[in-house]
Amino acid sequence: MPKPAAPHPTAEDLARRQREISVSEFFLKNRHLLGFDSPRRALLTAVKEAVDNALDACEEAGVLPEIAVEIVQTAPDRFEITVTDNGPGIVRAQIPKIFAKLLYGSKFHRLRMSRGQQGIGISAAAMYGQLTTGRPALIRSRTAKARAAHEIEVTMDTRANKPVILQDRETEWRPEFPAAPAAEGGSPEPPAVSEHGTAVTIALEGAYARGRLSVDEYLQQCAIVNPHLRLHYRLALLPKKGEADAGSEADAATAADAAGEWRRWRRAVEELPAAPIEIKPHPHGVELGVLIQMLKHTSARTVRSALAQDFSRVSDRIALEVCARAGVDPKASPARVAHRESEAIFKALNEVKLMRPPTDCLSPIGEERIVAGLRKEVEADFYTAATREPAVYRGRPFQVEAGLACARPGAAEDIAADEPARLLRFANRVPLLYAAGACAITRAVTSVNWKAYGLTQPKGALPLGPLVILVHVASVWVPFTSESKDAIAHYDEIVREIVFALQECGRRLALFLHRRHREADAARKRGHIEKYLPHLAGGLRAILNLDDREEEKVRRKLVELLERSRGGPA
Amino acid sequence: MPKPAAPHPTAEDLARRQREISVSEFFLKNRHLLGFDSPRRALLTAVKEAVDNALDACEEAGVLPEIAVEIVQTAPDRFEITVTDNGPGIVRAQIPKIFAKLLYGSKFHRLRMSRGQQGIGISAAAMYGQLTTGRPALIRSRTAKARAAHEIEVTMDTRANKPVILQDRETEWRPEFPAAPAAEGGSPEPPAVSEHGTAVTIALEGAYARGRLSVDEYLQQCAIVNPHLRLHYRLALLPKKGEADAGSEADAATAADAAGEWRRWRRAVEELPAAPIEIKPHPHGVELGVLIQMLKHTSARTVRSALAQDFSRVSDRIALEVCARAGVDPKASPARVAHRESEAIFKALNEVKLMRPPTDCLSPIGEERIVAGLRKEVEADFYTAATREPAVYRGRPFQVEAGLACARPGAAEDIAADEPARLLRFANRVPLLYAAGACAITRAVTSVNWKAYGLTQPKGALPLGPLVILVHVASVWVPFTSESKDAIAHYDEIVREIVFALQECGRRLALFLHRRHREADAARKRGHIEKYLPHLAGGLRAILNLDDREEEKVRRKLVELLERSRGGPA
């Protein structure tokens, strides 16, 4: 009997097709979620992940960061990027997992501000490199002077999300950083060799373009919010066709890139930012399901001690109160708590009065440093910054900072007819370049009524004028809208804090603009007085038959009178 | 000696903190990525995932789908949703993994159009339910009349992304669907009991609101693009405070909801859509890294047979040609191919001329059914639809369909002064409700020049008027911008095809509007003729001294003459 064509599958047939999907298979197919959707963005994302990791490692180990970023074009659509840092280095056994396993790291489970938080970034960059060039990632790392450096080539088995080590050898490698010529009024920086640090090299398919959303823009903004960073950058592009005809300024820059000269950002400060302290979860940010899991997995022997030990702001006394309210025996074993009891504890935890979570888990940039960063970057007449007090969303502390720089602010009219303000977005000191439209920062900035501060603003848009607006959101867990970490999700609490910070800056801007306006007004009035008073005095002289001295006296008295009447300097 | 306060950690300290992150831990912390960021959206997302799964299962097993969606409010912020289908059922061993393990399923690894593709959706809904209520998911399923049904309660161990079975028993359960009263001119539908099917019940924190972005809107749009679906829907809300004062229409609806009556959508067609056929990857959509992995893991014994066997559109002859171009021995073992050789094969595969991938992996709705769906939904004077030929992005087939419904189209002026058109977005027959701004469909619709078709359109926005625009993108792999699958990423090829489909509809609309305009014009002219001709005839009668019969004849001749001169019916 012939088999019927394509019979419909049964439940058993369907069952045979079910299988596990590894997280690397998932993200390989969905690489646009990780920021690798176009060659240009891929290049930026790879550099960004490597630099963010380097900065985190340096700061955690208490090392003033020095980082070198090298991008070498090896074919029209291929680049080799190397990011070298002077951080603490990585012990040999961890290297393969950190660079060739998605969802692996130290930052995910900790409540503490850091740039990385997902355990995806750098291994995703290596995975993308492997996908597009078939090449392994090369990592060199040294943890101390006394130790040898390790040089490891690693790829990912994407079917299992596991590293495959291709090379693993000891070398004499040390991180080296290029010398810098003397800046104006400064001294030259000698080439530096560090006793410890890490360098990662990834070959990938990419595209380089100058300007907005470029690696250059990212590094520049990085330098603004990390004034303690010494950064070196070298871009070596293949010569383009027809390069010989070049003559313009842009072409000169291209020529420099083709030559591959090192550029650098110096440190503006020589101290590290305050190190953020890890905190425990705050009960008001813990969902019922998480509470149940925490009680199940706690190392504490009683419910009371589990609450006091595993949560932030729950003292032994409060733990006792919670148990009493919930009608749960404080000496009960946490693993044996019934569902109804968990619900009761959950309810009680949300009813008792608790201090807000501690905020030393955050390390804001600070108003002074924001203004300093803006001064370095933006030529303007007015600078201000506001760092808000820490706040809480879903039990997680966060803190918002805003900065403003305003050029040519002579009069409000002056600012009006221009381009939209330039918005610089940062989360945990990392510049956010893509997906501005989806970001809570953009929503907050456009929802502020900038007209109240003397600016022009199209409805629901950025204010117009030669203005730079900077917003920094720092949190133990920044709620990004996607794994590529380009935009912050719209939590009301966060949007509100951003608005408050911007309004604080806006009010100061308004005062400044108002004063400027008044001064311009006064100058104009004074002009009128100076123009017409002599004629008035001359008229009075003719009528009253005054002599020269008397006329001069009358003129002077009139000036005094008018100056007083308009409230100017007596 | 006292220990110094908080010394900086060494590389070894840092290494001890590194650990694996389970994919469920990741998504638990990032649940907004899965569409569970607000209570309202969470309710919609959970229903959507369950219904999408039910539809996929029915269609795959060749069953005309009947689905019942029941939403019962159990507390002000808690709901229990149950989705029952008459699909093939799920074998017992698979149930826990399907509902309590992220990244598990049958659709991810297949190139074939289906609603689900990630292996995340329904287990994410169960995980969210567990997170917010601590409750397990309850699944009942029967695969055939002869078999007992299984009733399983399962939660997820989110630290390990593994199911934990709480209950597992056999029952006599059968999927039951409520009877429907007779529709106008139709017969009543009796209550149905199926011999096989699945019901999933999830308790979760949620919020219900009518209108845009509601479960109701989702189900309604679902019925439009799935005319072969019989759908039942019951919403039982707790009475609100002050409900007694109710009197308006909305309150009447609320009262019905509180009573929890079943609403239903009947089938418009009694046939299933054509079943899509699974295809192999097309070489032009395979990246170098994937090629290397495929060669490594192939079951074929030679490179030549690996190419011919594992790829779409690579015949044995083409495989041989590719090997020749690449300078690789066609008889070589695929696992032993060197990196340089893989690169050469990759290059050769991209140089040889290949047929485009087969397109029977897609199952478009079809122009006729789109128009039928729109007719059911939208009261309008003009309907049209266009189904494009399949196209390819990154080696993956996709197909675009568009539909238009236009009400009161008498004259272009009529349409102008109104609200923006209503845009219905669909991907693989699933309505997309959230994130419209980020979607390739929105970009395509706003980039079409609707003015050319007689509509008013603000710059870069949707056209205005009583207009419904429907766009359906079908693909073996829809590139969503996030795991919550609300918006399609901006691939140029996809945007272009959507634009073409819309332009096709737009041209037909323009013809229709033009004809209408001309007819209105003609009617106006005929009015003039009918008004003035009797006077003209009367004047001629007086001048020429005609009798009644002669005057009537002159009048008739004049009418004929004028009708002919303006090209009207002779």
Q: Does A289 touch chain B (CB under 8 A)?
A: yes
Kindly indicate the confidence band of residue A180, based on its pLDDT and cuts at 50, 70 and 90.
confident
| A22 and B CB contact within 8 Å | yes
Q: How far is A519 from chain B (nearest CA, A)?
A: 41
Tell me what pLDDT residue B403 has: 97
pLDDT digits (tens, 9 = 90+) for A427-443: 999 999 999 988 999 99
Count chain A–chain B contacts defined by CB atoms under 8 A.
203
pLDDT of residue B522: 81
- Asked if the C-beta of A256 comes within 8 angstroms of chain B's C-beta atoms, the answer is no
- Residues of chain B contacting A105 with CB distance shorter than 8 Å: 18-19, 21
Cβ neighbors of A235 (< 8 A, separation 6 or more) are: A71, A208, A215, A216, A257, A260
pLDDT exceeds 60 at position A104:
yes
Q: Which residue of A92, A106, A298 is the best one to mutate when testing the B interface, meaning the one whose CB has the most B CBs within 10 A?
A: A106
The answer, yes or no, to whether residue A545 has pLDDT greater than 50, is: yes
Least confident of A233-247, A382-396, B67-81, B109-123: A233-247
Cβ neighbours of A11 in B, within 8 Å: 61, 88-91, 143-144, 196
Sign of CA dihedral A47, A53, A56, A58: negative
- pLDDT bin (cut points 50, 70, 90) of residue A446 is very high
Q: What residue type is assigned to position A484 of the chain?
A: S
Q: Is A375 exposed, middle or buried (0-12, 13-18, 19+ CB in 10 A)?
A: middle
* Strand B66-75, strand B230-236: pairing: parallel
Interface of A with B in 47-86 (CB under 8 A): 57, 60-62
Please judge whether A292 and B134 are an interchain contact, meaning their C-beta atoms are less than 8 angstroms apart.
yes
- Inform me whether the pLDDT recorded for A361 exceeds 50: yes
Least CB-CB distance to B26: which of A118, A196, A437? A118
Inter-chain CB proximity B483 and A101 less than 8 Å: no
Beta-carbon separation of A11 and B108 below 8 A: no
Rounded-to-integer distance, Cα B66 and Cα A344, Å: 40
Question: Once rounded to an integer, what is the mean pLDDT over residues A464-478?
Answer: 94
According to the model, what pLDDT value does residue B248 have?
Answer: 53
Question: pLDDT of A264-306, one tens digit each?
Answer: 898 888 999 999 999 999 998 899 999 998 999 999 999 999 9
Phi, psi dihedrals of residue B444, rounded to the nearest 5°: -65, -45
pLDDT band at A257 (very low <50, low <70, confident <90, very high): low
Find the residue in B nearest to A111 (Cα). Answer: B29
Report the distance separating Cα A36 and Cα A30, nearest Å: 9
pLDDT at A413: 47
Q: Cα–Cα distance between B426 and B220 in angstroms, integer?
A: 12
Residue A547 has pLDDT above 90, yes or no: no
CA gap A421, A444 in Å, rounded: 14
Q: What is the CA radius of gyration of chain B?
A: 31
Under-70 pLDDT residues of chain B: 1-6, 183-185, 241-258, 408-418, 562-570
**Per-residue pLDDT, A250:** 54
B118-136 b/e (C-beta count within 10 Å ≥ 16 → b): bbbbbbbbbbbbbbbbbbb
pLDDT of B422 reads 92
Give the residue-averaged pLDDT of A324-330: 95
Query: Would you call A116 an interface residue with chain B, using a CB distance cutoff of 8 Å?
Result: no
Read off the pLDDT of each residue in A373-398 and give the average, rounded to a whole number. Answer: 90
Nearest to B288 among A21, A37, A132 (CB): A132
d(CA B370, CA B384): 8
Is it the case that residue A566 has pLDDT exceeding 60? no
Task: Please provide the DSSP assignment of A305-350 as one string.
Answer: HHHHHHSTT--HHHHHHHHHHHT--TTS-GGG--HHHHHHHHHHHH
Taking every pair of C-alpha atoms in chain A, what is the biggest distance, in angstroms?
135
Looking at the predicted structure, is the pLDDT value of residue A205 above 60?
yes
Q: What is the mean pLDDT of the segment spanning A359-381?
A: 89
Q: Is B244 on the interface with A (CB under 8 A)?
A: no
> Per-residue DSSP letters for A370-402?
HHHHHHHH---SEEEEEEPPPEEETTEEEEEEE
Enumerate the residues of chain A whose CB falls inside 8 A of the CB of residue B8.
Answer: 60-62, 275
ipTM of this complex prediction, to 2 decimal places: 0.85
Q: Is A493 on the interface with B (CB under 8 A)?
A: no
CB of B443 closer than 8 Å to CB of B468:
no
In this prediction, residue B257 carries a pLDDT of: 65
Cα B517 to Cα A269: distance, rounded to the nearest angstrom: 72
pTM of the model as a whole = 0.86
Chain A interface mutation, best of B106, B132, B204, B349, highest count of A Cβ atoms under 10 Å:
B106
User: What pLDDT was estimated at residue A568?
Assistant: 46
DSSP state of A90: -
The CA radius of gyration of chain A, in Å to the nearest whole number, is 31
Q: Does the beta carbon of A438 lie under 8 angstroms from any beta carbon of chain B? A: yes
Mean pLDDT across the stretch A157-186?
A: 90
